[in-house]
């Protein structure tokens, strides 16, 4: 065996496979340059820790699967037993399968095959370095023994160098997802566990470790994302030995995964990214990777009107036709009928599970509305919540045994609903048949808003824990539905942003970041959702003037500017607005469509502005020719006038013209005179704009300004 070096996009992976045990990941992060075999061996040797007093008699190194047999005393990467035996392993390397094409546009991959005959276990570690520099890590464990093996944990981990001294992760709740929290990384373990049966409103999209004081544009960072839509764990651990690790995987309930002889278990993918240009560098790696996926949306993201906040459960064909007419007038491209179209669904207390068009509300079915919408040139979308059931439904009355539950009782009710056990063949077959029939009978449906409005509590499957089986069944259902209806797009909505992860996004086309459409709240929600996801995957809608979740009032310009960068849409009763509001709304939609090719292909940048009342972000074209930035004033500031705004991401050698976006009203300000450059724009080098910047107008609180930037040479 040897020391391997994989290189892609300024990132190196160095793997020491010379020992009899599992290989050691010597380094993942910045490119270590051109090293021959001898140089790689010296690098590996130079990073082996010394033997110190009151320790083992040989150096303890961190392998791809840390084991107690190799001296690891930290958080177990593998935990399980076979009737209280085989609880500790000592894997030995069998072989390496290396695929490292000379074409750096192709991924490099190493499969590590190891076994422990005494424990009756085989392990495969799949380690991939993507062309973007993203690392993907997965473990597969097989039971080679004679009896069942209960798996309690199998979690990929990666080492992090000592220079990473701060941690940042995200938490949240319904209508306040993606709230950042940051603190020093002391000795000990920072564990983020999600026990919701879905990803969760409080899930951290990324767990980031970085050098002191890192920001959006500065600092060296290492980050991981656990790609799993059920119970999961993500953690950072620093040991007194000096070893620091990041890891993540599935969180298993006792008895949930028991491997029979010959059976295997695969962990969720752990995505890992490195950056030496701050948080924006992490996002750049992740966004580039996601955009390179074969199934990433390639067509322009249609401006969407969702009718929920316009009609709620009050479905009337004439009213909805009129709403579609008004939507087409302002430039909407997709019309989505939300909750309330199926049998018995006049409120949120009944009907879930009965996926038949309600004949009493829709005597001619959905066809008249779909035909009207599509004749206007709009796509038609429909809301569904397939994984749920109301006890007040024909489905529940016919099949109460199809509910995820422990024997003898139902879980606590949540929004008057329970969860269908999709691991039961009958329940799975029923949902597949109903959804397939719905899309087959209504070929005009091109989009499903797939909701998931409760946590999975006491999620039992035939008396055993059922979250793992439920999550895999949901994936199978989505995969099969997409196979049968390839042109239908699907949104992952889970009472807002409670199911946002890269595994659900392998099967869906966008996420709903939050049920909160309050623009001030959305600024933060979208900023931190964008840490993982590019703008085109994040549903961002213009809500009503008064937010129904916060009761806060914002003018149209602020609401439209905040929603502008994502998958644009409207969540507002536009039938009730004035002609002036309708004209302004149409102007914002037209501006978004004009800039959409840039917004949904460019590099996301966020500004580290010294005034906490000023937030700014933007998108820069891949070739550096254009950019658009949004500047928002959150509150008043101590300073009368905020400092100049630096515009990051531009080519320092090129000259650019900066001017306010045209075609939409200017935001309200509290100034007697505006900055001299603002009326006609200013032309400066990218170096000047990035190092000095431009003076901002004195915006009123909760106002936003859009700036367009164009290269002039």
Catalytic residues: 451, 515
Q: Is 419 left (phi over 0), alpha (psi -120 to 50) or beta?
A: beta
Answer yes or no: are the C-beta atoms of 22 and 67 closer than 8 Å.
yes
Give the bridge partners for 191, in sequence order. 235
Secondary structure in 3-state letters for 102-161: CCCCCCEEEEEEEEECCCCEEEEEEEEECCCCCEEEEEEEEECCCCCEEEEEECCEEECC
List Cα–Cα distances, 355 to 339, 344, 384, 389, 512, in angstroms.
Answer: 11, 10, 8, 10, 22
Which runs of E-coded beta strand occur in 494-566?
A: 510-512, 538-542
Alpha carbon distance 399, 393 (integer Å): 10
Residue ranges of alpha helices (H) inside 257-339 are 278-291, 308-311, 317-330
DSSP state, 50? P
DSSP state, 490? E
The rounded radius of gyration (Å) of the Cα atoms in the chain is 27
Cβ neighbourhood burial of 444 (10 Å; 0-12, 13-18, 19+): middle
Structure tokens at 301: 């993201």
Neighbour tally for 671: CB within 10 Å:
14
Alpha carbon distance 470, 639 (integer Å): 54
Give the bridge partners for 236, in sequence order. 190, 246
Alpha carbon distance 233, 644 (integer Å): 41
Sheet holding 157-159, edge to edge: 157-159, 244-250, 232-238, 188-194
Secondary structure in 3-state letters for 365-379: CCHHHHHHHHHCCCE
Structure tokens at 402: 């199809």
Cβ neighbourhood burial of 208 (10 Å; 0-12, 13-18, 19+): buried
Half-sphere exposure of 28 (CA within 13 A, CB side): 28
- Is the C-alpha dihedral spanning 409, 415, 417, 421 positive or negative? negative
Answer yes or no: are the C-beta atoms of 368 and 317 closer than 8 Å.
yes
Sheet holding 682-685, edge to edge: 603-606, 614-620, 626-633, 703-711, 655-660, 682-685
Half-sphere exposure of 180 (CA within 13 A, CB side): 18
Which runs of E-coded beta strand occur in 509-551?
A: 510-512, 538-542
Neighbour tally for 99: CB within 10 Å:
12
Q: For residue 43, give the H/E element and its range.
A: helix 37-46
Secondary structure (DSSP) of 674-700: --TTTTT-EEEEHHHHHHT-BPPP-BP
């Amino acid at each position: 065996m040897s020391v391997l070096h994989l290189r892609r996009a300024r990132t190196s992976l160095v793997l020491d496979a010379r020992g009899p045990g599992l290989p050691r990941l010597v380094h993942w992060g910045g490119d270590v340059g051109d090293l021959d075999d001898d140089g790689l061996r010296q690098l590996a040797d130079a990073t082996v820790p010394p033997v110190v007093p009151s320790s083992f008699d040989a150096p303890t190194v961190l392998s791809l699967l840390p084991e107690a047999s190799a001296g690891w005393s930290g958080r177990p990467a593998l935990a399980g037993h076979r009737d209280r035996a085989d609880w500790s392993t000592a894997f030995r390397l069998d072989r390496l399968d290396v695929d490292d094409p000379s074409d750096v546009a192709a991924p490099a991959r190493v499969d590590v095959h190891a076994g422990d005959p005494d424990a009756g276990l085989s392990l495969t570690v799949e380690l991939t370095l993507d062309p973007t520099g993203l690392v993907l890590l997965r473990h597969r464990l097989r039971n080679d023994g004679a009896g069942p093996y209960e798996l309690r944990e199998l979690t990929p981990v990666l080492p992090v160098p000592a220079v990473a001294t701060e941690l940042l992760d995200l938490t949240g709740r319904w209508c306040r997802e993606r709230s950042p929290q940051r603190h020093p990384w002391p000795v000990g373990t920072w564990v983020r566990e999600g026990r919701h049966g879905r990803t969760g409103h409080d899930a951290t999209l990324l767990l980031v470790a970085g050098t002191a004081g890192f920001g959006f544009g500065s600092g060296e960072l290492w980050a991981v994302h656990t790609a799993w839509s059920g119970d999961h764990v993500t953690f950072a651990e620093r040991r007194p030995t000096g070893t620091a690790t990041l890891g993540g995987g599935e969180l298993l309930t006792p008895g949930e995964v028991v491997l029979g002889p010959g059976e295997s278990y695969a962990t969720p993918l752990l995505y890992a990214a490195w950056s030496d240009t701050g948080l924006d560098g992490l996002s750049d790696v992740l966004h580039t990777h996601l955009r390179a996926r074969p199934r990433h949306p390639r067509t322009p993201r249609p401006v969407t009107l969702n009718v929920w906040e316009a009609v709620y459960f009050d479905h009337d064909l004439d009213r909805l036709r009129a709403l579609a007419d008004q939507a087409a007038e302002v430039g909407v491209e997709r019309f989505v009928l939300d909750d309330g179209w199926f049998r018995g669904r006049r409120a949120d207390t009944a009907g879930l599970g009965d996926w038949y068009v309600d004949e009493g509300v829709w005597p001619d079915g959905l066809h008249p509305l779909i035909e009207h919408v599509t004749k206007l040139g709009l796509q038609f979308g429909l809301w569904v919540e397939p994984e749920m059931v109301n006890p007040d439904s024909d489905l529940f009355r016919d099949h109460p045994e199809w509910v995820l539950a422990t024997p003898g009782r139902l879980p606590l009710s949540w929004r008057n609903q329970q969860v269908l056990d999709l691991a039961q063949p009958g329940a799975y077959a029923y949902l597949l048949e109903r959804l397939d029939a719905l899309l087959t009978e209504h070929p005009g449906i091109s989009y499903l808003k797939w909701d998931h409005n409760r946590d999975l509590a006491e999620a039992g499957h035939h008396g055993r824990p059922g979250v793992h089986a439920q999550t895999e069944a949901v994936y199978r259902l989505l995969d099969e539905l997409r196979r049968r209806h390839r042109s239908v797009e699907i949104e992952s909505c889970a009472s807002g942003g409670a199911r946002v992860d890269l595994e659900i996004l392998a099967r869906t086309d966008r996420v709903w970041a939050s049920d909160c459409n309050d623009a001030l709240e959305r600024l933060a929600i979208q900023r931190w959702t964008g840490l993982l996801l590019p703008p085109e995957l994040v549903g961002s809608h213009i809500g009503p003037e008064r937010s129904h979740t916060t009761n806060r009032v914002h003018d149209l310009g602020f609401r439209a500017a905040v929603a502008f960068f994502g998958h644009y849409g409207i969540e507002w009763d536009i039938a009730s607005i004035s002609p002036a509001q309708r004209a302004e709304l149409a102007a914002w939609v037209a501006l978004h469509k004009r800039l959409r090719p840039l917004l949904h292909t460019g590099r996301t940048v966020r500004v580290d502005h010294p005034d906490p009342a000023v937030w700014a972000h933007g998108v820069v074209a891949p070739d550096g020719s254009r950019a658009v930035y949004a500047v928002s004033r959150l509150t008043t500031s101590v300073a009368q006038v905020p400092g100049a705004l630096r515009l990051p991401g531009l080519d320092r050698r090129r000259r650019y013209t900066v001017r306010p976006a045209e075609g939409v009203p200017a935001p309200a300000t509290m100034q007697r005179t505006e900055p001299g450059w603002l009326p006609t724009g200013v032309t400066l080098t990218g170096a000047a704009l990035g190092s000095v910047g431009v003076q901002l107008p004195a915006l009123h609180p909760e106002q936003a300004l859009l700036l367009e930037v164009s290269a002039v040479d």
